[in-house]
């Protein structure tokens, strides 16, 4: 049993996480990558060519062991749901950005830290920094809270996705979720805005074999489907 405290006092141990990675086939319990129903594909007969290929044509998500060892149980994705579609990840992120952006705009107006004024020649530097700090805090808090809670921001819930630790499939801890959110949102709030979000998130379209964004790589997480 893990000694890591449950997130936000939920009383749930990481070992009780319903999304925890399932044991590999040789340790009992079927998995999405496990032995097909009805037993081995060749029954009691020896497999052709002297070796039985692992299910789905290889140990890794793209038909081979991502570590090059050729050993199916070494696949970090063994026992986990399929990796999320990158297009769905983009839609989920846009939903989150719009939702939190509305809150940021309302609070910036309420506390008079909005960097936009009627007179375009009268933009106060302190107000600009104030709104950037407010945006960073709210985006990071939002992402961290919901990721620790169950791996799903509101956008990810709508798109049926979740964040998981690459190592064990668990919902990320507070420290992991905070790191992931900080890598994504601090550059967004203070300098690069949508450019950084596009780079960090768009990285998943090209990354192999785990389809990780740059923030996923920093936190050692993946995004998987819940369907």
DSSP for 123-141 reads --HHHHHHHHHHHHHHHHH
What is the reported pLDDT for 130? 78
Whether the model clears a pTM of 0.85, i.e. scores above it, the answer is: no
**Ramachandran sector of residue 169 (left: φ over 0; alpha: ψ -120 to 50; beta: rest):** left
pLDDT tier for residue 132 given thresholds of 50, 70 and 90? confident
Core vs surface per residue 109-129: b (16+ CB within 10 A) or e = eeeebbeeeeeeeeeeeebee
pLDDT tier for residue 99 given thresholds of 50, 70 and 90? very high
Least confident of 81-90, 113-122, 148-157, 169-178: 113-122
What is the reported pLDDT for 110? 86
């Amino acid at each position: 049993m893990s000694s890591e405290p449950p997130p936000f006092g939920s009383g749930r141990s990481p070992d009780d996480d319903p999304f925890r990675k399932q044991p590999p086939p040789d340790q009992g319990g079927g998995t999405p990558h496990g032995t097909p129903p009805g037993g081995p594909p060749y029954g009691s007969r020896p497999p052709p060519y002297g070796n039985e290929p692992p299910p789905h044509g290889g140990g890794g998500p793209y038909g081979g062991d991502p570590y090059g060892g050729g050993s199916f149980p070494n696949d970090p994705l063994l026992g986990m749901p399929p990796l999320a579609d990158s297009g769905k990840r983009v839609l989920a992120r846009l939903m989150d950005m719009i939702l939190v952006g509305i809150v940021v705009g309302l609070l910036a107006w309420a506390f008079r830290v909005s960097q936009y004024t009627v007179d375009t020649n009268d933009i106060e530097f302190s107000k600009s920094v104030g709104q950037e700090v407010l945006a960073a805090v709210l985006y990071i808090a939002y992402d961290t809270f919901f990721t620790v809670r169950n791996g799903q921001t509101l956008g990810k819930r709508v798109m049926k996705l979740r964040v998981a630790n690459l190592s064990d499939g668990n919902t990320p801890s507070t420290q992991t979720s905070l790191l992931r959110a900080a890598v994504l949102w601090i550059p967004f709030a203070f300098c690069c805005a949508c450019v950084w979000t596009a780079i960090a998130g768009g990285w998943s379209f090209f990354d192999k074999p785990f389809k990780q964004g740059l923030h996923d790589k920093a936190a050692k997480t993946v995004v998987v489907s819940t369907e």
